[in-house]
Amino acid sequence: MSTKIFVNQPVKDLTSSIDFFTALGYSVNPQFTDENAACVVINEHIYTMLLTEPFFKNFTKKPIVDATAGTETIVALSVDSREEVDVLVDKALAAGAQAANEPSDMGFMYSRSFSDLDGHTWEVLYMDPSHVE
């Protein structure tokens, strides 16, 4: 089995969060979804587990960070083109996200970011493959 990543995130309203991520074009794996959690499939190797805050507390001894007031992590996703950056972030904004930062254009790399419904920061970026070869 290849390595996969599961980003676990606490959410206040599971149904709204599912609606948000499906509006971005992602699917939900019903095998790992119930009233406490939803498995959002970003691609075959990346998933975000949306966990209700009470359920999330079972996995940590630390307090849950209020992502609208502080940042614990930034989830960065690469896409295949500058246009895909804009399409995905525009979908997020239309679904209720807030712009997190100004777009960044370094020539070889372009990115935009948004805060999801619970304030978690997502950065979407395109890097010209010829620049990293």
Q: For residue 70, what are the CA distances in angstroms to 24, 50, 116, 121? A: 24, 19, 13, 10
Number of domains the chain contains: 1
N-to-C CA span, the chain? 27
Q: What is the CATH number of the domain that holds 52?
A: 3.10.180.10
Per residue in 45-69, is it b (16+ CB within 10 Å) or e — as a string?
eebbbbbbeebbeeeeeeeeeebee
Q: Which domain holds residue 26?
A: 5-132
Q: What is the pLDDT of residues 67-115, one digit of tens each?
A: 999 998 999 999 999 999 999 999 999 999 999 999 999 999 999 999 9
Q: What is the pLDDT of residues 4-59, one digit of tens each?
A: 999 999 999 999 999 999 999 999 999 999 999 999 999 999 999 999 999 999 99
**What span, in angstroms and rounded, lies between the C-alpha atoms of 119 and 97?**
8
Per residue in 80-111, is it b (16+ CB within 10 Å) or e — as a string?
eebeebbebbeebeebebeebeeeeeeeeebb
The pTM for the full model equals: 0.91
